[in-house]
Structure 1
Amino acid sequence: MAFLSSRRRKVRLAPELDDQDLGKLLKSLVATTRTGTIATTELCVAQMSRLLEQDPGDWDRRAHRIDVLAGYLVGSHLPRAWSTREPRNAHALVLQAWTQVAQARAHGHLEDPAGAVESCLRAAELAPDDPTPWAALLAVARLERREQSQVFGLWNEVLARDRWNREAYLNMLAYLSPDEAGSRIQVLEFVDTLRARMPANAPCVATELTAQIHQYHAILDRGGLEALVARNHWSNDMATQALDRAAHTWIQPGFLRHAKALADLNLLAYTLVAADRRAEARSVFEQIGGVVTAWPWQTGGDPVTEFDQIRQKAMAGV
């Protein structure tokens, strides 16, 4: 029992995933902001700048770090303070825009779309090889429900700099869905085109499985008899093939190397359990350890509780 209790304590929401430097920064930001000193902003800015200057050219890692920082700093004065103090710092400008996007996703609307666009364009001018400003612009365009010609234009700008950019593909998947500016047919065509060209371990590899999870959730949301038999979704050919491809490759040691690999393994574990393939899910849970992502576990309630309960059942073979 002590062993089980120890394992349960390790289950936690960890937006940084296995990025130890990012995790240390998040803890340091908490400690720094609690000091209440006059130099708090300067200390926080210095810490964020130092992290974002690491690994130049690793666009996948950069996007992950900015995404996590933006979500963490929603409601904070730090992104705007940094971009105001250093108006020619691409890190500061992109973080400011990405934080506005994160806030819009939380509250339902973008408060200053023109300001977010301006920040992105200035960052793109300062760092022409960086896909991150264009990925942020794509997210803004999606939130604003811009015309598809504009959105695809921004998407192409991202891909010209980072062919398999995870954020770009996931934003396009959501934009092309029936809930936003597209249709089920457009989603299928988009996923089919991606699958035909994408390396099996690309950073955007979870796009196809994400599309299937969204469709599964749409069935659950309808309620009634459809929700009761929603598990049957994972028996249709497209869903089964997508899940088979992921289950047979992602769990191979070292196969997934991108920054959000643990987030994708969370998707795989969730999906295998939803498809009643618990025996396969066990090895995925072992790789994940206790690192929990909010989505998709939050659809069943508290994500940590949901993850922990399902993991224990899967590991016990229930």
Structure 2
Amino acid sequence: MARDGARPAYDPAGPDSALRTALQEVRTGRWMSMRTLLAETATWGQWTQRTQILAAAAAGTDVVRAWLAEEPDSVPAVVMQARVGVERALRAARDDHRRTQELWHEAWLASDTASRAAPHDPVPWVCLLALARLDREQRWDEHRVAPPEPMLPPGPWGLLAQAHKRDPYNREAHHRMVQFLYARSASGRLAEAVGFAHWAADGAPPGSALHVLPLYVRVERYRRTGGRDAALDLHWVAEDATREARRAFQGWFELTTAAERSPLDLNHLAHALWSALQFPEAARVFDAIGPYYAPLPWACRTSGPADHAQAVDVFLQARARSRSAARRP
């Protein structure tokens, strides 16, 4: 399947078939498969990823509320309540909904409750980090803590430290920190996010998904220009872009198994390697992606970022070119 020429489709569960089954149940208002899946989740990394994806599906339903009504002492249900609350608050903020403040407050309370109900779980702290981006004026003291190094900006470092304490180098926690810095530089050049991403990658151990983080910031920088600046195209093939792509390939991809890799990270890495003309390495990553395409980063290379069909076309062209070049002697 990994090497075929089939047109891919987006699936939030990726290769996680157990998660896919639970998502189907959640969308129909049933929670038993979700409870079973979370009870069988073995690592904090997988727990973080599964709770995030489940919350995105559950946010438009009352399925977690129904679970809590049946099992009010369930710690996973309490954590999922926080996840769903955060998802709803972030959606409301994105849509400039009149209930954003109310939903933000509810989500914060649910996350605080979860942090006490599950003291060893990084997810409640990831939830609080996710909400930090809504405090655009940084009125909350916990969102403007001094950084661990002088070259880094102030921010919710205490929240990141709490997540790190429970799950060192937690992938989502660091992505949430980057999103906080994006929100703070809504019209800027993302210098703070660039600096943070490289700091996180520099300190991450071999095999950590944080080695892929700088690739996300590079895509965001391009996305913010709308791709209109022709000179910016050079940043895909510049020396630092090539170095970032190869570092992620060598420091993450080559040191991990298929089960440890997020489809989002794989797609960002394939895009970066293809963009930097590193075709043999890109071909290997495309093989690992198989059918588990993700709209970003491919959508940023289209004339209409909301046109998913066009994004798939870019993906297919990049895959075909990488594989063709990789086969040449």
TM superposition score normalised by structure 2: 0.79
Letter in 2 for 1:125: R
Aligned pairs (5 A) from 1:299-318: 299=300, 300=302, 301-302=307-308, 303-317=311-325
Indicate whether 1:71 and 2:56 are aligned.
yes
Task: Rate the CA distance shift 1:100–1:213 in 2: closer, same or farther, 3 A.
Answer: same
Task: Rate the CA distance shift 1:92–1:259 in 2: closer, same or farther, 3 A.
Answer: farther
Following the alignment from structure 1 to structure 2, what is the Cα–Cα distance between the partners of residues 187 and 256?
28
Partners of 2:11 and 2:293 within 8 A in 1 = yes
Partners of 1:60 and 1:203 within 8 A in 2 = no
Matched with 1:36 is none
Aligned pairs (5 A) from 1:75-224: 75-107=60-92, 108=94, 110=100, 112-145=103-136, 146=138, 147-149=143-145, 151-177=156-182, 179-180=185-186, 184-219=190-225, 221=226, 223=228
Task: Rate the CA distance shift 1:276–1:216 in 2: closer, same or farther, 3 A.
Answer: farther
Shift of 1:97: 2.5
Q: Work out the percentage of aligned pairs sharing the same amino acid.
A: 28
Following the alignment from structure 1 to structure 2, what is the Cα–Cα distance between the partners of residues 74 and 155?
24
Moved segments of 4+, more than 6 Å: none
Following the alignment from structure 2 to structure 1, what is the Cα–Cα distance between the partners of residues 116 and 189?
34
Task: Rate the CA distance shift 1:271–1:152 in 2: closer, same or farther, 3 A.
Answer: same
Shift of 1:256: 4.9
Indicate whether 1:12 and 2:15 are aligned.
no
Secondary structure of the 1:14 match is: coil
Following the alignment from structure 1 to structure 2, what is the Cα–Cα distance between the partners of residues 125 and 98?
15
Letter in 2 for 1:144: D
Gaps of 5+ in 2: 146-154
Following the alignment from structure 1 to structure 2, what is the Cα–Cα distance between the partners of residues 191 and 304?
27
Shift of 1:229: 3.2
Partners of 2:258 and 2:288 within 8 A in 1 = no
Following the alignment from structure 1 to structure 2, what is the Cα–Cα distance between the partners of residues 240 and 98?
36
Task: Rate the CA distance shift 1:307–1:234 in 2: closer, same or farther, 3 A.
Answer: closer
Partners of 1:120 and 1:133 within 8 A in 2 = yes
Following the alignment from structure 1 to structure 2, what is the Cα–Cα distance between the partners of residues 151 and 180?
17
Matched with 1:49 is 35
Letter in 1 for 2:256: F
Partners of 1:61 and 1:258 within 8 A in 2 = no
Shift of 1:129: 0.4
What is the aligned-residue RMSD (CA, Å)? Answer: 3.0
Indicate whether 1:242 and 2:228 are aligned.
no
Following the alignment from structure 1 to structure 2, what is the Cα–Cα distance between the partners of residues 140 and 74?
15
Partners of 1:164 and 1:202 within 8 A in 2 = yes
Letter in 2 for 1:140: L
Task: Rate the CA distance shift 1:83–1:28 in 2: closer, same or farther, 3 A.
Answer: closer
Following the alignment from structure 2 to structure 1, what is the Cα–Cα distance between the partners of residues 253 and 109?
41
Partners of 1:282 and 1:315 within 8 A in 2 = yes
Secondary structure of the 1:112 match is: helix
Q: Which moved more, 1:303-312 or 1:196-205?
A: 303-312
Shift of 1:165: 0.6
Shift of 1:311: 2.1
Partners of 1:21 and 1:51 within 8 A in 2 = yes
Secondary structure of the 2:209 match is: coil
TM superposition score normalised by structure 1: 0.82
Partners of 2:45 and 2:170 within 8 A in 1 = yes
Partners of 2:245 and 2:273 within 8 A in 1 = yes
Matched with 2:234 is 232
Following the alignment from structure 1 to structure 2, what is the Cα–Cα distance between the partners of residues 264 and 235?
19
Secondary structure of the 1:76 match is: coil
Letter in 1 for 2:267: N
Matched with 2:286 is 285
Letter in 2 for 1:164: Y
Following the alignment from structure 2 to structure 1, what is the Cα–Cα distance between the partners of residues 31 and 64?
9
Task: Rate the CA distance shift 1:170–1:185 in 2: closer, same or farther, 3 A.
Answer: same
